[in-house]
Amino acid sequence: MKIAVVGLGYVGMPLAVHFDSVAKVIGFDINKAKVDTYKKGIDITGEVGDESIQKCNVLFTSNTADMVGADYFIVAIPTPINHDKTPDLTPLIKASEMLSKIIGKDSIVIYESTVYPGVTEEICIPILEKESGLTAGVDFKVGYSPERINPGDKKYTLRNIVKIVSGMDKETLEKIADLYELIIDAGVFRAESIKVAEAAKVVENSQRDINIAFMNEIAIVFDKMGINTKSVMDAMATKWNALHFTPGLVGGHCIGVDPYYFVYRAECLGYHSQIILSARQINDGMSEHVAQRVIKFLSSLKKPLSEAKIVVLGITFKEDCADTRNSKIFDMVEYLKDYSISVRFSDYMADPQETKDEYGVDLEDVSAFTDVDLLIVAAPHEVYREMKQEDYKRIMGEPGDDKMVFDIKNKLDKNTILSCGYRYQGL
């Protein structure tokens, strides 16, 4: 069996490596630099580890010809949004056009990219048919299986998350189910249609977005009330049916994007989203709220705002993950620039060159920071969560009420910070 995985990011790379144990795998990506890195045995995603890549026999390539003759083509590429928050299907369309020149009779194409219901059958299949001259359902088959991994999560990984699968007919559904059952220990769930599988993904991420938006809204109100949000959450969590969502900046390539796909499709059908769109507006507005909290503290210092020393630890979109896509911390920084406030950054997990190219900022080693007025821990990676008194003192210097640690996600040891003589705030 020969499997081609198109797209070697946080979704495609684990798929390629795990399928390597049961089939011949071609891992394709248009980014030649990324492919070369994998060939060197380096896992830039951090999802499977360098050792797993070094041991596998995956053919990493940027040459489309290497995929010719594959039995299965699994498409795992990003589906971003445009500046106006509408779906940007360009990467998916280009991938489909590319595959249309490669697929043959009896090929099975499986899309994993997050889309709104209808994209696979109404957009992707016609492209595959037009360019290939083949007929879907007769010459080749198509299915959809949404990716569900949580980047940086070492507990819930590809193998132990139930895989939703779907196919254009019963035969295709069973073949796709059999394929994934080879590597998914948690088993598969057979959706009744491709549209159902597509909808399940955007809805599950929209649900998380709504729950986080609720926590962000109460965090804003509690700040005005002078109530500690985490203290409220700890008390609430004692009830058996409490939902353990927390406030924070909602970025990344899933939760901060997928709801817009659902909203777009709903509006095309004449329905204006109320709850989902409101949640998106609240979460997108949290960067400004954090910036306002920062400005409020800096205004209390006996120095001009432009002279305040501010450091952000963790610029990725979430903790314990190297992915910087759609990181909302930079939205906060844009608000601060209006007040001539400058910020320095450090993140041992993020790629310095990618960060420079994407956001125009330089990452520094944490050892470069001294006498900091405000330390903002935005993505609380494990190293930051385990910081000791000496670590804070080395960065912030002499204790005082004019020094503060802003723990955006409430993940740090508050008592350690207070015992150093610094102020502490969380969302």
The catalytic residue positions are: 254
CA distance 87 to 257: 9
CA distance 289 to 427: 10
E-assigned strand segments in 45-92? 59-61, 72-75
Asked whether the beta carbons of 62 and 32 are under 8 A apart, the reply is: yes
Amino acid, single-letter form, for residue 258: D
CA distance 398 to 394: 9
Rg, C-alpha atoms of the chain: 23
Q: How many CA atoms lie within 13 A of 140 on its CB side?
A: 28
CA distance 404 to 406: 6
The residue count of the chain comes to 427
CA-closest candidate to residue 134, choices 145, 144, 123, 126: 126
Asked whether the beta carbons of 405 and 386 are under 8 A apart, the reply is: no
